Amino acid sequence: MEHLPQQYRHLFPTLQTHTMLASCSQSALAEPVSRAIQDYHDSLLYMGTNWKEAIEKTEFARNEFAKLIGAEPDEVAIVPSVSDALVSVASSLTAFGKKHVVYTDMDFPAVPHVWQAHSDYTVSVIPSIDGVLPLEQYETHISDETVLTCVPHVHYRDGYVQDIKAIAEISQRKGSLLFVDAYQSAGHIPIDVKEWGVDMLAAGTRKYLLGIPGVAFLYVRKELADALKPKASAWFGRESGFDGAYAKDARRFQTGTPAFISVYAAAAALSLLNHIGVSHIGDHVKTICADAVQYAAEKGLQLAAAQGGDQPGMVAIRDERASETAALLKKKKVICAPRENVIRLAPHFYNTKEEMRYAIDEIAAKTIHK
């Protein structure tokens, strides 16, 4: 899959001067996405208003995200962030009568923050074991009283990939709904919400989806959406916008006017990803990460992720002074994403094996000299 960087690197001006390996935090900006942002600006600057065009662009983005995850467009709501998506979901579960919610210790901190704010629920945490989450943990911690199970598709800290289809089977058998945080997977790991049996899934655009902050997408299974009445819903979540009836699909989870400039960016970014094909992207990312894992070991670096299972889409290297190392790398125009005591190297389809090895060489040199 080395042809992907050769074919698409020219779309990313930053790559001419920087080694961009921070897609788990912020991907490089593509020229088509930059032009979309400029189009939004110019439409206001020269035409004065762009409401009709912006609504059309919103629907285009909705369709592109639905295509990306194997859903139907009316199963996708457009929301400001994944946190907002989960807040809206949390406000909608009263109809089921059950009050128990579980999430994992691998979830991004926003997930426990949401549930800590909802005193109506009894909340349990599913603990990982030596950096992995065996399916037996879900069997143990999801009960018949669990209304919702929250899981990350990919652990934000080290790239550990979970078997969502297997987790969905357990959740469904126990009578729990399943919410998947796909912020660290959408855009480089193929997702099929229908095949996997997912009830709800959310992802934002600024990471592997190549966009900018301000927009996220919430998938809600069609058969489920109409049974939910989110309190976090407003005029974009209503049937006509002006009456009080909920929309008859996932749109009922929408609130106010979306950040249209971010929607324009998302539409262009998602179109590019679907054109390339996430399966091709995933093959490329896994290949260069597998090489980087082996190369990092040869350099004497300690990996943070548990070995075995599906190859993660990032290389997480232990470093007690990760932020300091990342700052030193930035001076050499190598952009990575430190998190606590880990340096995350998160490539995308525009990155090469040589870039990953160069970053590892720099990390090894700085670690040795500390």
Per-domain boundaries in the chain: 3-29+277-368, 50-274
**Residues in contact with 115: Cβ distance below 8 Å, sequence separation at least 6, in sequence order:** 90, 101, 103, 121, 123, 150
CB distance 126 to 103 below 8 Å:
yes
Residue 141 and residue 172 in contact, taking contact as beta carbons nearer than 8 Å = no
**Quick one: pLDDT at residue 299?**
95
Residue corresponding to tokens 């809600």: 220
Same fold yes or no, 3-29+277-368 and 50-274: no
Each residue's pLDDT tens digit, 57-93: 999 999 999 999 999 999 999 999 999 999 999 999 9
Q: CA separation (Å) from 165 to 37, 137, 153, 188, 368? A: 36, 15, 10, 17, 42
C-alpha angle 83-87-92 in degrees, rounded to nearest 5: 145
Nearest to 285 by CA among 343, 366, 229, 355: 355
CATH no. of 50-274:
3.40.640.10
| Per-residue confidence (pLDDT) for residue 290, from 0 to 100 | 93
Name the residue with tokens 């069997």.
139
pLDDT at 368: 53
Q: For residues 322 and 319, what is the distance between their CA atoms, to the nearest angstrom? A: 5
pLDDT-flagged residues of the chain (< 70): 1-2, 241, 306-311, 367-370
- Model's pTM, two decimal places? 0.95
Predicted local distance difference test score (pLDDT) of residue 161: 94
Angle at CA 185, nearest 5°, toward 183 and 189? 155
Predicted local confidence at residue 70, as pLDDT: 98
- For the domain 3-29+277-368, what is the CATH code? 3.90.1150.10
Alpha-carbon 303 to chain mean position: 22
Residue 103 backbone phi and psi in degrees, to 5:
-140, 175
- Give how far Cα 355 sits from Cα of 44, 210, 214, 358, Å: 39, 19, 30, 5
In this prediction, residue 120 carries a pLDDT of 83
Amino acid at 124: S
- In the numeric block, which tokens belong to residue 58? 């919103």
**Alpha carbon distance 300, 164 (integer Å):** 33
* pLDDT score at 309: 53
